[in-house]
């Protein structure tokens, strides 16, 4: 442990330079506290970098999402298996009215192309696996509201489900109706609700998979008051940009919602509508009908996943906050360096003070081999030591000034000789009373031009600025 503490100052990245006499070959003064700050800041920065990097790679950083509604003129959507179910919740527990044999109510699916019914209706009987349930699949809905139709686009295609009274004349696939008494008894009872259930989707931005959920509407199934229901299927287009540096778009199209609009009609409403659209005579009793179509209003969502620049910006902003510790470490290192250097100066003149050392927390402390009696006077000694400390600081400053002057004199002597060095000692003069008057006069006559020989160098040195004296000597 001691070895680690003794070497922790080697990793101090906040070391302050030691300016000896020149700026050449600077070395950094490093400390254990600075090394500890460096270790903390570096560890936190690396940990946060890895934390954000894992989130970024796993697409767990919240993306930028913008969504809006737009009107579309053309669209297609294919109804998959088990996507739309119409289920009767019968409270009486009577027989399934939608079954193929002993049928009471026959669900027929009509294909409406534009405003025409061309094909024969398709019966939608319930099955043993899904009793009381009507479903249709593998059909394509087409929305076409284009003002200028495209030749390659299909005509508008909708689907109409009609709950008709059973008739052996129109019944297909070898099915047959129940006897009339059974039908009459069934029609006289209240049978609960019709549940319209449609599977919708939402896109998981992390896994890029479509998640399914059901949305249901409940309607009273009153055969004496049939209803016309229009089911508006709403699409959503999601565009995901998951490029690291540049754009990389991926498109997803799915159903995300639907609306149900109801209107009460009479028992022959559907029969009349089908007859008009197909141009064929139909005569059946209507117990309810559902028109499925695509809505012309679509939700468009643009998802932009965080790119490399955003990831680096997020990491960099936090790392900058962490590295605010550098200012504390730099201040500490500067103070510790100054105190240690001045302590060395004090011990040069007072060797007995070598028993006192500076701790890593910049505090005075007696060495371990000092008697306890001396340790007890530490509180009385601190004011005296502070006095010596200030005197050492002043002496260090004066020594630096003297050394700098000596260095300048040495340079002058080496380059210009002893005579010029001796002349340099005669620069300057005593400050006289008329000096400030001369400065004011000089400020008012800055634009006056005089020949250089008109200045009395012998008698005017005391009226010149130091820089002016040096310029005249050169």
pLDDT > 70? residue 253: yes
pLDDT-derived band of residue 13, with 50, 70 and 90 as boundaries? low
DSSP count for the chain of H helices, then E strands: 11, 21
Tokens encoding 282: 């139909």
Same domain, 261 and 120: yes
- Domain that includes residue 451, residue range: 427-473
Does 457 score more than 50 pLDDT?
no
User: How many structural domains comprise the chain?
Assistant: 2
Residue 139 placed within a domain: yes
Q: Which segments of 16-100 are extended strands (E)? A: 16-18, 27-29, 64-71, 74-79, 84-89
CA distances from 156 to 69, 149, 178, 294 (A): 21, 11, 37, 9
- Tell which of 251, 280, 304 closes a domain: 304
What pLDDT digit, counting tens, does each position of 316-343 carry?
Answer: 777 766 666 777 777 777 788 888 888 8
- The answer to whether residue 382 scores a pLDDT higher than 60 is yes
Q: Is residue 420 part of a domain?
A: no
Inside any domain, residue 191: yes
Using alpha carbons, select from 303, 215, 293, 299 the residue that is nearest to residue 261: 293
Per residue in 353-370, pLDDT (tens digit) is: 777 777 777 777 776 665
Within a domain: 148? yes
Report pLDDT for 452: 45
Residue 456 lies in a domain: yes
- Based on the fold, state whether residues 432 and 299 are members of the same structural domain: no
Residue at which a domain ends, from 304, 325, 346: 304
> Which residue in the block uniquely carries the two structure tokens 């008057």?
437
Q: Is residue 149 part of a domain?
A: yes
Please state the rounded mean pLDDT for residues 42-50: 82
Domain boundary among 247, 281, 304: 304
pLDDT tens by residue, 395-445: 777 877 888 888 888 888 887 777 777 776 666 555 555 555 555 665 555
Instruction: Tell whether 174 is covered by a domain.
Output: yes
Q: Can you give the pLDDT at residue 439?
A: 57
Query: Which pLDDT belongs to residue 20?
Result: 46
Residue 140 near residue 155 (C-beta atoms within 8 A): no
- Look at residue 7 and tell me if it is in a domain: no
């Amino acid at each position: 442990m001691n070895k680690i503490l003794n070497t922790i100052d080697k990793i101090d990245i906040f070391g302050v330079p030691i300016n000896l006499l020149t700026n050449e070959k600077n070395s950094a003064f490093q400390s254990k506290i600075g090394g500890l700050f460096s270790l903390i800041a570096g560890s936190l920065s690396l940990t946060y970098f890895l934390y954000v990097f894992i989130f970024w790679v796993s697409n767990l950083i919240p993306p930028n999402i913008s969504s809006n509604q737009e009107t579309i003129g053309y669209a297609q959507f294919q109804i998959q298996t088990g996507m739309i179910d119409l289920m009767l919740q019968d409270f009486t527990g009577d027989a399934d009215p939608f079954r193929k044999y002993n049928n009471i109510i026959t669900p027929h699916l009509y294909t409406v192309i534009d405003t025409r019914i061309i094909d024969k209706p398709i019966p939608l009987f319930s099955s043993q696996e899904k009793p009381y349930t009507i479903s249709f699949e593998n059909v394509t809905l087409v929305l076409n509201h284009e003002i200028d139709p495209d030749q390659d686009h299909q005509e508008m295609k909708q689907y109409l489900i009609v709950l008709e009274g059973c008739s052996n004349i129109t019944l297909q696939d070898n099915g047959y109706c129940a006897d009339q008494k059974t039908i009459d008894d069934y029609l006289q009872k209240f049978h609960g609700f019709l549940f319209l259930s449609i599977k919708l989707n939402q896109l998981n931005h992390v896994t890029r998979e479509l998640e399914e959920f059901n949305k249901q509407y409940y309607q009273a199934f009153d055969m004496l008051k049939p209803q016309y229901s229009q089911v508006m299927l709403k699409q959503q287009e999601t565009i995901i940009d998951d490029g690291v540096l540049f754009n990389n778009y991926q498109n997803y199209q799915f159903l995300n919602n639907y609306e149900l609009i109801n209107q009460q009609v009479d028992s022959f409403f559907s029969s009349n509508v089908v007859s008009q659209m197909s141009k064929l005579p139909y005569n059946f009793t209507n117990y309810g009908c559902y028109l499925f179509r695509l809505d012309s209003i679509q939700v468009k969502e643009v998802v932009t996943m965080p790119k490399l620049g955003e990831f680096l910006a997020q990491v960099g902003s936090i790392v900058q906050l962490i590295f605010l510790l550098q200012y504390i470490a730099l201040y500490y290192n500067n103070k510790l360096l100054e105190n240690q250097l001045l302590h060395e100066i004090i011990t040069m003149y007072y060797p007995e003070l070598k028993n006192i050392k500076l701790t890593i927390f910049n505090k005075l402390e007696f060495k371990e081999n000092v008697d306890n009696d001396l340790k007890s006077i530490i509180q009385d000694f601190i004011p005296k030591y502070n006095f010596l400390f200030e005197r050492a600081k002043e002496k260090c400053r004066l020594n630096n000034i003297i050394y700098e002057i000596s260095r300048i004199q040495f340079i002058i002597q080496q380059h210009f000789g002893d005579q010029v060095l001796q002349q340099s000692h005669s620069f300057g003069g005593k400050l006289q009373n008329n000096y400030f008057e001369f400065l004011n006069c000089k400020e008012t006559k800055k634009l006056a031009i005089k020949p250089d020989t008109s200045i009395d160098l012998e008698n005017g040195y005391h009226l010149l600025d130091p820089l002016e004296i040096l310029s005249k000597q050169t």
